[in-house]
Amino acid sequence: MRKIILYILIIILLCFFIPIIFCKKFEQKEEAFSSNNDEEVKTEYNNSISEYNYKNYNKIRLLHTKTNEIEEINLDEYLCNVVSAEMPASFELEALKAQSIVARTYTIYKIENGSKHEEADICDNANCCQAWISKEDRLSKWNENYREENWNKIVTAVNSTIGKIIVYNGKPINAFFHSNSGGKTEIPLNVWGGSDYPYLQAVETTGEEAYTQYYSQVSITKEELINKMKDKYSDFEIDFADDNCIEILEKTDSNRVRTLKLGNKNISGVEARSIFALKSTNFEVSKEDNNVKFEVLGYGHGVGMSQTGADSLAKAGKNYSDIIKYFYIGVEIVDI
């Protein structure tokens, strides 16, 4: 009888504790699963800038051109502002990584080879150095639903390439870049004259026609053309009745205009781009009734890395190293 009672008690206790044990284990597994999921979400894009010892380059002096004030700022913090100003956050992460390394290299090259600014290493003007935008201004320009994700994506691009620069023969390169090459990049000699850099050669790009930066038009009246040219050349004359009064005389190997005839003046494609506010020197020009129309391919000077070309390569499965070595010939990516 006692044995029967003992067995009954054991059965009751087992019925009571077994569900507790299994529930506890399930809860632990569920907690572990939830914890792993949370970690994956958090680590998809970083939200804080990592630290790295750049030795002589931990801090840079940034000139804000609108206020003429100089700010001392952490290098990679500065790069987050640059990358967010220079490349859309919607671009592929590998393209953003390439942009981060290019911008870091460009900055260090400028510091090592002499800044244009007496008290500062670099400025925030894209026409002089690199574009820069404060985090607050950048966030305000993005859709509210994507602000945090976009910023964290930029930080991830900078963090995941931290310390890396591009070198040629062991020295940082002059890492020029632009928005859209219009199908082929350009060599520096055809843009600024002087000496060429062996790592900045003309390369063909694909997929850029899918971007809004690829094609643009500028149409001005004949009177506007005369006024713009006379602002630069007081003795300018043109007879629009002459079929050859506007003519492209020479192009570069990358199909950009080297020399343009306008009336009694022959000007460079670079000068024409400046005078008529064209997006690049890769253009065709025609007369249409009372107007002169420029049809333009690409956006920017065309030298170095094309940003839309980088994104196109990333979409095709290329990583940041592939992208950089495609646009900069014979270079290496190293830790500084």
pLDDT tens, residue by residue, 10-42 = 555 554 544 444 444 434 433 333 333 333 344
pLDDT at residue 51, as a whole number: 80
Query: Which of the four pLDDT bands, split at 50, 70 and 90, describes residue 45?
Result: low
What are the beta bridge partners of residue 291? 221, 288
Judged by average pLDDT, the poorest of 16-25, 145-154, 260-269, 285-294 is 16-25
**Mean confidence (pLDDT) of the chain:** 89
Complete DSSP assignment for 75-143? HHHHHHHHHHHHS-TTS-HHHHHHHHHHHHHHHHHHHHT--SSSS-SEES-TTTS-----HHHHHHHS-
Half-sphere exposure of 12 (CA within 13 A, CB side): 6
Judged by average pLDDT, the poorest of 15-24, 219-228, 249-258, 317-326 is 15-24
Closest CA to 238 of 285, 191, 295: 285
67 DSSP 8-state letter? T
At residue 43, does pLDDT exceed 60? no
pLDDT at residue 27, as a whole number: 40
pLDDT at residue 132, as a whole number: 97
Query: Which of the four pLDDT bands, split at 50, 70 and 90, describes residue 7?
Result: low
Query: Which of the four pLDDT bands, split at 50, 70 and 90, describes residue 115?
Result: confident
H or E element that contains 10: helix 2-44
Give 98 or 11, the one with higher predicted confidence: 98
At residue 308, does pLDDT exceed 60? yes
Question: How much is the average pLDDT of 217-227?
Answer: 98
pLDDT at residue 233, as a whole number: 98
Specify whether the CB–CB gap between 320 and 164 falls below 8 A.
no
Question: How much is the average pLDDT of 62-77?
Answer: 95
pLDDT at residue 18, as a whole number: 45
pLDDT at residue 170, as a whole number: 96
H or E element that contains 185: none
Longest CA span, the chain: 126
User: pTM for the full model?
Assistant: 0.83
At residue 108, does pLDDT exceed 50? yes
